[in-house]
């Protein structure tokens, strides 16, 4: 194949997700050919640190021998058989394992293929739960402003990021959004912020009493919003409010699950057990598309009242419970045990913290935030007045583009530089990643701002 042919074909035949294609077409795409551990290699042979875990899903590095072997072994048996009317070995084994490791009370596993579908299913499940119980008034969903739960119509209906969701307004169903301000922009202590957020939530609950199907939240940190870390105790407060107002609590652990926040699941840090629980990104350690929505026996039982009324949950995808995906997920969890992944995170988490403290002092850095192995650096034009850069300046994208030339792949969220490497990253590799980011923000960013 002539050199440059793949790049040409990409521009001619692909449409990239979440990508302004007009600027994509003006640039040379970087084509990834292989991966090894935390590194990605392009077709030209250059090596990069995968600083965003291939969009937040890689856990133990690329090309991990244990996960590769598990997928191959499954492939020798069967790649896929349907869960509609049939059961399959790896999906059963995984379901049992997931019930064991997720928060107490979650006893049933419903599979799908992406984070969006896991949330879509959670919404439909909650909605039908109340219908099955004859409580037809409970229809309303409450979510948080700036929340992100995926891109299907149901999941964008409970999403609160205007640039992603605005266009589709008339296609979505109505939801109420509680304003939980970003602690960096809130005028007060974290404790006052927590109180404020819960009061906002309760006002909506009170106003819509008896009509709420569920509250949907990302636990501890709102990822796509720009890694906005909630004040401590907020998640517990939401659990208490859901109980007080007799509604379900849906927790979207798509981004936070599988060690990202320092514990296997974010909910553990506040001892919260939701009624419905969504997982996806890290479930197969970033190898194959698989997701799951877990729920309690209480919710499940409301779907058992056949045949007097049909309470069946009519939802399912062709590849639901895919055997290769389930085998990869089981291998992922085995690697967590074998490599003591969670136990080994402490040093990396403190190393990130150390660098963030240093970086937060620089010009054009407004806020730095961290929740375990998720970190964000918010770039800002005017530090004193907390004034953002113009979005047209695309400063976050420009910084990440520059860091690429220094061997690091990152993808920003607006002007927030996101640092989210595989959990398995070694101390020296993490130090290299953080040094490149540190130097870019200290030395190159000011030049970029002064001579755009």
Ligand X SMILES: *Cc1c(COP(=O)(O)O)cnc(C)c1O
Chain residues that interact with ligand X, rule: CB under 6 A:
114-116, 119, 148-150, 218, 223-224, 252, 254-255, 280-281
Minimum separation from the CB atom of position 265 to ligand X (A): 13
Which residues does 132 contact at the CB level (< 8 Å), separation at least 6? Answer: 302, 303, 305, 309, 311
In angstroms, the CA 439 to CA 417 distance is: 13
Of 411, 422, 367, the C-alpha closest to 67 is 422
Least distance between ligand X and beta carbon 307 (Å): 35
Cα angle value 12/14/19 (rounded, 5°): 115
- Which C-beta is closer to ligand X: that of 2 or that of 17? 17
Closer residue to ligand X, CB minimum distance, 128 or 284? 284
**Quick count: other Cβ atoms within 10 Å of Cβ 165?**
19
Q: Which is nearer to ligand X, 254 or 445 (CB)?
A: 254
Q: Dihedral (C-alpha) 64, 69, 71, 77: value to the nearest 10 degrees?
A: 180
CA 3/CA 43 separation, integer angstroms: 10
- DSSP 8-class letter at 296: E
Q: Smallest distance from the beta carbon of 262 to ligand X, in angstroms? A: 17
Q: Which residue is nearest to ligand X (CB)?
A: 115
Q: Residue holding tokens 């979207």?
A: 252
CB of 113 to ligand X, least distance (A): 8
Q: How far, in Å, CA of 192 to CA of 212, rounded?
A: 26
Q: Which residue's entry shows tokens 């990396």?
A: 348
User: What's the CA gap between 365 and 123, in Å, rounded?
Assistant: 38
CA dist 297 and 352 (Å) reads: 40
State in angstroms the smallest separation of the CB of 36 from ligand X. Answer: 24
Least Å distance, CB 285 to ligand X, is: 14
345 or 420: CB nearest ligand X: 420
Contacts made by residues 24-31, CB under 8 angstroms, sequence distance 24+: 30/404, 31/6, 31/7
Residue 88 and residue 323 in contact, taking contact as beta carbons nearer than 8 Å: yes
Contacts (Cβ under 8 Å, ≥6 apart) of 350: none
Specify the residue, 74 or 114, whose C-beta has the smaller distance to ligand X: 114
From the CB of 155, what's the least distance to ligand X, in Å?
7
Q: Based on CB atoms, which residue is closest to ligand X, 148 or 258?
A: 148
Q: What is the 3-state secondary structure (H, E, C) of 247-269?
A: CEEEEECCCCCCCCCCCCCHHHH
Q: Which is closer to ligand X, CB of 287 or CB of 389? A: 287
- Nearer to ligand X (CB atom), residue 144 or residue 430: 144
- Tell me the closest approach of the beta carbon of residue 278 to ligand X, in angstroms: 7
| Smaller CB separation from ligand X, 276 or 445 | 276
- Which residues pair with residue 279 across a beta bridge? 292
Shortest Cβ distance from residue 225 to ligand X (Å)?
Answer: 9
CA separation for the pair 223, 180 (Å, rounded): 14
């Amino acid at each position: 194949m002539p050199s440059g042919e793949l790049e040409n074909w990409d521009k001619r035949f692909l449409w990239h997700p979440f990508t302004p294609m007009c600027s994509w077409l003006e640039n040379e795409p970087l084509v990834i050919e292989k991966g090894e551990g935390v590194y990605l290699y392009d077709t030209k042979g250059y090596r990069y640190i995968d600083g965003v875990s291939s969009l937040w899903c890689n856990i133990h590095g690329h090309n991990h021998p244990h996960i590769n072997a598990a997928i191959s072994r499954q492939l020798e048996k069967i790649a896929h058989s349907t869960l509609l009317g049939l059961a399959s070995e790896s999906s059963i084994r995984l379901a049992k394992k997931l019930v064991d490791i997720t928060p107490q009370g979650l006893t049933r596993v419903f599979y799908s293929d992406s984070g969006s579908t896991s949330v879509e299913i959670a919404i439909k499940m909650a909605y039908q739960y109340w219908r099955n119980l004859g409580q037809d008034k409970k229809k309303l969903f409450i979510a948080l402003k700036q929340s992100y739960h995926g891109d299907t119509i149901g999941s964008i209906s409970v999403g609160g990021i205007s640039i992603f969701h605005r266009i589709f307004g008339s296609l979505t169903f109505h939801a109420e959004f509680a304003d939980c301000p970003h602690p960096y922009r809130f005028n007060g202590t974290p404790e006052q912020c927590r109180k404020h957020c819960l009061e906002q939530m309760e006002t909506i609950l009170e106003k819509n009493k008896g009509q709420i199907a569920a509250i949907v939240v990302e636990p501890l940190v709102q990822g796509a919003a720009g890694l906005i870390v909630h004040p401590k105790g907020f998640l517990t407060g939401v659990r208490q409010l859901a109980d007080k107002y007799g509604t379900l609590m849906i927790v979207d652990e798509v981004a936070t699950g599988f060690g990202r926040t320092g514990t296997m699941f974010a909910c553990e840090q506040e001892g919260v057990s939701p009624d419905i629980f969504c997982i996806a990104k890290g479930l197969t350690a970033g190898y194959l598309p698989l997701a799951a929505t877990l729920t309690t026996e209480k919710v499940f039982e409301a779907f058992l009242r056949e045949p007097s009324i049909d309470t069946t949950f009519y939802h399912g995808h062709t590849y639901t419970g895919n055997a290769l995906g389930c085998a990869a997920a089981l291998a992922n969890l085995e690697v967590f045990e074998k490599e003591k992944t969670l136990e080994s995170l402490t040093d990396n988490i403190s190393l990130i913290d150390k660098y963030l403290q240093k970086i937060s002092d620089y010009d054009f850095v407004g806020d730095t935030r961290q929740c375990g192995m998720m970190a964000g650096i918010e770039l800002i034009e005017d530090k004193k007045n907390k004034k953002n850069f113009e979005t047209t300046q695309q400063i976050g994208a420009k910084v990440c583009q520059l860091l690429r030339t220094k061997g690091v792949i990152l993808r920003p969220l607006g002007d927030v530089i996101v640092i989210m490497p595989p959990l398995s990253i070694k101390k020296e590799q993490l130090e290299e990643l953080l040094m490149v980011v540190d130097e870019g923000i200290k030395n190159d960013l000011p030049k970029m701002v002064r001579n755009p």
